[in-house]
């Protein structure tokens, strides 16, 4: 039998990859937080950041968000999923 669950309200830190400079800053943010990330210069599909996650290496492209999860882990999130899941909070 299936059951229904609601996601617990948690506050996360996130940074949107809006450009090449932001991507470089995101790599530094991830590394400062104990994560691993590598900036990939533009090739065929534009710049990207490769982030080592619990599920393996994931790609963050322009427009994507990078989230620091509740256990300090980092992972990318597509903008439409981010908007459907998160809302801004006052600091």
Q: Is the Cβ–Cβ distance between 22 and 16 less than 8 Å?
A: yes
Model pTM?
0.87
Cα–Cα dist 70/18, whole Å: 23
Beta bridge partners of 16: 65
Task: Give the domain ranges of the chain.
Answer: 13-85
pLDDT lower than 70: segments of the chain: none
First-to-last alpha carbon distance for the chain, in angstroms, is: 41
pLDDT at 2: 93
pLDDT at 71: 92
pLDDT at 29: 98
pLDDT at 79: 97
Residues 15, 23, 67, CA angle at the centre, nearest 5°? 30
């Amino acid at each position: 039998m299936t059951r229904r669950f609601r996601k617990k309200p948690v506050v996360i830190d996130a940074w949107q990859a809006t450009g090449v400079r932001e991507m470089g800053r995101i790599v530094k943010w991830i590394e400062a937080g104990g994560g691993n990330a590598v900036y990939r210069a533009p090739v065929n599909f534009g710049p990207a950041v490769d982030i080592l996650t619990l599920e393996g290496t994931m790609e963050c492209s322009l427009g994507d968000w990078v989230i620091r999860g509740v256990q300090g882990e980092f992972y990318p999130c597509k903008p439409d999923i981010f908007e459907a899941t998160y809302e801004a909070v006052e600091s």
